[in-house]
Amino acid sequence: MKNKDMTIAEICLNDALGGLELTAANCFEYFKNKTNCYAIVAPDTKLDKLIDNKNKFTVKRNKILPLIPAFKLAKLIDNNNIDILHFHLGKDIIPIVLAKIISKKKPIIIYSRHMNMTRFKNDIYHRWLYKNINMLHAVSRQVKEQLEKYIPSSARPPIELVYLGTKESSIDENKIETLKSKYNLENTFVVGMIGRIEDEKGQHILIEAISKLNNPNVKALIIGSAPREEYMKKLKEMVKSLNIEDKVIFTGFTKEVNEHMKLCDASVLATKKETFGLVVIESMRNKVCTIATNNGGPLEIIDDNINGLLFDRTPQDLASKIEYLYNNPDIKNSLASSGYEKAKREFDYETQMQKLYNAIQSV
């Protein structure tokens, strides 16, 4: 039964579509079945296209004149009797706090922090901002510790640690076979990397690792789109110069993420500073063995050599981990199976969403 006494607005005004934006969409989908809920996104973005619902509004962020989106948000708050503003990105904090002040309703503000925090927020401006926030949601212990370190206690709202979760999705087996044929992956050991194609994500590390293996039966499947064409161009030039054009496949953006993930024998997360690693638990839930960088969020998910592998973010170490899995299929399958059990037990979508909803409800 819905809680009709509480109205939540899920806000994400970003123009990209990655784990953070998908989490905002997932929160909207889950919360709207629990209570009155609206989605507020930037117009003509991938997130705008993804959320198809009559309870969706669009607001464009304005870095120079934040009062413009703030007044629009304040109007939406008052016209729709919104009690809680839940947002996910630091860039949205200014118009949201201003909207709270401008509105008659004066809603509660909850900030889900997905990104690293690396600077102290002890100046007057940031103290004022955080004093207007009612709760911080940290997606990992690392993020919680950063929030406690960098936001002074006099301005810091209560912090709730709730990990993200993932579903066990239905898979189109026929689609998998079609994709396998499309990418020519028969009798191939496939190493996948899923996510935005950008330098920080480290696709270049996987490409260099593939070149070091010099194994004709191992291919890299790089799944996602590039916000900046320069990096994609750099990657393709790198593939060409290493003479491995037959071993690296760029799929581009796809909505069939789980089917693409199921093509893989192993998946790689090579981000330099990952706060959590949603793609890690998604891979684990798809029973794909995961290799991730040995810092940040992955340390809270993967138990090395038990339910996945950790590497030091060098191409040499990544190549050795891929070779190890290639030469030891039973170990690969065991790691994948253990990873699946841990993801199902500790990072279940319904369980984690309910924990977050309960935390929001208690503010």
How does pLDDT run across 145-179, given as a tens digit for each residue?
Answer: 999 999 999 999 999 999 999 998 888 899 999 99
Is it true that 3-165+348-362 and 173-346 share their CATH fold?
Answer: yes
Number of Cβ within 10 Å of residue 214's Cβ equals 10
State the angle between helix axes of 93-102 and 67-79 in degrees (0 to 180), rounded to the nearest 10: 50
CATH code assigned to 3-165+348-362: 3.40.50.2000
Whole-number pLDDT of residue 312: 97
Are residues 59 and 40 in contact, defined by beta-carbon separation less than 8 angstroms? yes
Whole-number pLDDT of residue 28: 98
Whole-number pLDDT of residue 81: 97
Residue 236: pLDDT over 90: yes
**pLDDT band for position 2 (50/70/90)?**
low
Give the separation between CA 230 and CA 53, rounded to whole angstroms: 35
Whole-number pLDDT of residue 275: 94
Map the chain to HEC letters.
Answer: CCEEEEEEEEEECCCCCCHHHHHHHHHHHHHCCCEEEEEEECCCCHHHHHCCCCCEEECCCCCCCCHHHHHHHHHHHHHCCCCEEEECCHHHHHHHHHHHHHCCCCCEEEEEECCCCCCCCCCHHHHHHHHCCCEEEECCHHHHHHHHHHCCCCCCCCEEECCCCECCCCCCHHHHHHHHHHCCCCCCEEEEEECCCCHHHCHHHHHHHHHHHCCCCEEEEEEECCCCHHHHHHHHHHHHHCCCCCCEEEEECCCCHHHHHCCCCEEEECCCCCCCCHHHHHHHHCCCEEEEECCCHHHHCCCECCCEEEECCCHHHHHHHHHHHHHCHHHHHHHHHHHHHHHHHHCEHHHHHHHHHHHHHHC
Give the separation between CA 206 and CA 24, rounded to whole angstroms: 29
Six-digit token string for 289: 């063995």
User: Can you identify the CATH homologous superfamily of domain 173-346?
Assistant: Glycogen Phosphorylase B; (3.40.50.2000)
Whole-number pLDDT of residue 1: 44
| Average pLDDT for 75-102 | 98
Residue 288: pLDDT over 90: yes
CA 147 vs CA 88, 166, 223, 360: distances in Å: 14, 24, 32, 18
Looking at the DSSP bridge assignments, the partners of residue 8 are 37, 84
Six-digit token string for 210: 């593939």
Burial class (CB in 10 A: 0-12, 13-18, 19+), 43: exposed
The rounded mean pLDDT for the chain is 96
Whole-number pLDDT of residue 160: 98
95 closest CA partner among 121, 123, 74, 79: 74
Residue 356: pLDDT over 50: yes
Question: How do the domains of the chain map onto residue ranges?
Answer: 3-165+348-362, 173-346
Percent above pLDDT 70 for the chain: 99
Rounded to the nearest angstrom, the gap between the alpha carbon of residue 251 and the centroid of all alpha carbons in its chain is 19
Residue 45: pLDDT over 60: yes
Whole-number pLDDT of residue 3: 63
| Average pLDDT for 234-262 | 96
Looking at the DSSP bridge assignments, the partners of residue 308 are 304
**pLDDT band for position 227 (50/70/90)?**
confident
pTM for the model stands at 0.92
| Average pLDDT for 131-152 | 98
